[in-house]
A and B are shown apart, each in its own frame.
Chain A
Amino acid sequence: MTAIQPSVASRPGLNDLLTGFGPDAAGDGPVITVRVPVAGLEAAVRRIAAHPGARLADVFASAGGPVTLRLVWGLDADRRYLITESLIDGDSYPSLSAIAPAAFAEECEIYEQFGIRPADGRPLNRVALPPGAGPDWPRLGRAPAGPPAGVHAPHHVGGHAFEFPFGPVRQVAVESLYYGLVTSGEELVDLYLFTWHKHRGVEWRLRGLTPRDALFQVERTEGLGAVGNAWAFAAAAEAALGLQPPPRAMAARAIALELERLYNHAAATAALCQSTGLVIGQAAAEIALERLLRVNAAVFGHRYLFGVVDIGGTRAEPDLAALRSDLPGAYGELKRAADALMSTNSFLDRLEATGILAEEAARRLGLVGPVARATGLAADTRADHPAWPYGEFPLAVAVADTGDVLARFRVMLTEAAESVRLIGEIGGAAAGPGLALSPAAGPGRLAGSGLGWAESSRGESMAWVALDGSGRITRARLRPAAVRNWRGFDDACRSQNVFTDIPIIEASFWLTVAGTSR
């Protein structure tokens, strides 16, 4: 989200952190960029990781003579993002996941796409490109010297445990995903995922497009997160181009984002009921979901809110009268279903103490969204890195502390109520016929790079773009929340659960495969 507010006064700790980087720190807005020579990268990572409230939000590379490695840190307590840029000359760099385990999956993908690897030589997993991807396979950079290990690491199989594959073709009307299940009978010892079956090479395909043309593909990367991901991408392009969307457009975007959150939480409720065999609860939640999707269609012209976000504003004029008349009834369905569920002990019994994630695990793995907030980690981009209108209309961040399926469900229900409240307040700001939905002036510049973010229903969605002199994309990085949160799924499943708990845990995470396998 591009911030319209002036920057918040920094705490002394942040200044100390930045002075440590010398005069190379640039940027006084919500994003600070720092050049760090690779020799100093390990020390820098340690220092930043030790800074209070620091969180490794993303790691990605860009091709070049030497590859540029960027680490994006959320300094949530200081309301800043910090990007470190390092040029990697050879084919290795200091191991990041040894200090910040959240970086592991990104290190794996960087190896597949750019051929550079952490210096400690530990085995890497295949995460993006399929097993047949030889040296000539299209990549974002150069091919690695050898394929990543075929076996998922770390991987425990011992004693009487055996391993069996499940998927990628799974139950009806769920996405394709391969689970490797390691079990000693009923109890789940380990679980790992192969996420490359749906990899469509979106980042590769976006190169050479204008940001506006790219939005079409970005929305369809993860259709159930179209607004969140498109907002993050548009914000990145706007930061690169020096574009400021007008307030009415930002208000319309926020309404769309909250509507997206609402329908996803309703869908998660339905999935939770289905996973526990409570068919009648599922039906009630599905009635709510269908009504919410019709609200989306009535207000913005599309059930899944495709085509709302535009570069510099919004494409769609929201029908605020329809919003006022239709949303209360639709949300009422969800509220009544949720209240009935919270009084149904047979349902709650399945949720309590299932799929437990500790706050420490959420921190270590860099988890985001309701999954992280349910462990006690109170991070929400709308509060920590607010773009207008979120800063103006304060938000109560929903947090729980047991980290189980029930906690995640509670967080989603609290967020849904909060979304309805926010829509009501922001709705006033979105009105005003005659005010622009796009900026009056064109972009201030064509070339540049920028970071964008949005709190999608699954958590923080990030994007970074670099544009050349003709305004076309040279590098687009998309990091939907699912990229982070799937790595918490393994942990949650392993905590003394049985097979029948897996669909319940999966429903409580409510991720998509498309969001990570892109």
Chain B
Amino acid sequence: MTGQGTTDLTVPENAEELRRTVTRLFGRSLHIRTLDTGSCAACEQEIRLLAAPHYDLNRLGFFFTPAPRHADLLMVTGPMVRAFEDAARKTYDAIPDPKIVVATGACALGGVYQPDAFTHGGVGGTLPVDVWIPGCPPSPLALLQGLLVAVGRLAEKVKSLDFSLNGTPT
């Protein structure tokens, strides 16, 4: 997370302090701007459903905003089509610090598309990503979990999963 810009924010000494800072700033109310860098449109549909009655992200203190100036978190989908890079950077730059970048969906994480002349094959090389949400597309439940992890209200789970079937978790 880029941590410069506000008066009461000094560079955190360690990861724990950073986590507490993020939770203090964004834990109760967070504004989200989305950025489509070339998705197939399914991720956008799942993101739209976050505001729908079944999921209602507002009840958790999350709000969508079209204005980058008002945003705290940038939710990025798509494989970063090179022709879109300029627009992506301008959107990122327009969001004031401190901000969180969440790469959303397999395309943004480096799956589906390989880097070539058309796309970067993921957003990690172009924007500084703080949280990664897998899925194709990630369901609204997965998106909610990702947002809650991003603001420190849920502990990350996947780090301790081993995807191995021999009696250990998962």
Contacts and interface: CB of A to CB of B under 8 A. Distances in A.
**Physical contact A–B (CB less than 8 Å):** yes
Interface stretch (B4-12, B40-48, B145-153, B155-163): B40-48
Among all A-B residue pairs, the 5 with the closest Cβ atoms: A223-B42, A130-B83, A223-B40, A286-B52, A201-B118
A198 B84 CA distance: 7
B119 A200 contact: yes
A198 B83 CA distance: 7
Given A130-B82, A173-B44, A174-B44, A198 B136 contact: no
Nearest to A170: B66
A426 interface: no
Interface of A: 130-132, 137-138, 168-176, 196-201, 204-205, 217, 220-224, 226, 267, 270, 283, 286-287, 289-290, 293, 303-304, 306, 512-515
A514 B40 contact: yes
B112 interface: yes
A67 B64 CA distance: 49
Contacts of B36: 169, 174-176, 198
A481 to B, nearest CB: 13
B79 interface: yes
B108 interface: no
Contact of A287 (B54, B79, B113, B118): B54
Contact of B137 (A130, A196, A223): A223
A200 B118 contact: yes
B87 interface: yes
B91 interface: yes
B33 interface: yes
A283 B83 CA distance: 35
Given A130-B82, A168-B87, A290-B52, A173 B64 contact: yes
Contacts of A199: 81, 83, 118
B52 to A, nearest CB: 4
Contacts of A515: 41
B140 to A, nearest CB: 8
Contacts of B54: 286-287, 290
Interface residues of B, number: 43
B141 to A, nearest CB: 11
B49 A286 contact: yes
Given A223-B137, A287-B53, A287-B54, A175 B41 contact: yes
A514 B49 contact: no
A175 B48 contact: no
Contacts of B48: 173
A265 to B, nearest CB: 13
Given A201-B116, A286-B52, A222 B41 contact: yes
Nearest to B78: A198
Contacts of A132: 83
Given A199-B118, A200-B118, A267-B45, A221 B40 contact: yes
Given A138-B117, A176-B84, A220-B107, 12 more contacts: A172-B34, A173-B47, A176-B36, A198-B84, A199-B81, A223-B42, A224-B40, A226-B42, A289-B49, A304-B45, A514-B38, A515-B41
Nearest to A178: B87
Nearest to B56: A283
Contacts of B52: 270, 283, 286-287, 289-290
B48 to A, nearest CB: 5
A172 B33 contact: yes
B3 to A, nearest CB: 24
B87 A137 contact: no
A174 B36 CA distance: 8
Interface in B49-83: 49, 52-54, 64-66, 78-79, 81-83
A202 B107 CA distance: 14
A476 to B, nearest CB: 15
Contacts of A198: 36, 38-39, 78, 81, 84
Contacts of A267: 45
B84 A200 contact: no
A132 B47 CA distance: 31
Contacts of A137: 117
A204 B32 CA distance: 35
B87 A176 contact: yes
A140 to B, nearest CB: 12
Given A130-B82, A198-B81, A223 B41 contact: yes
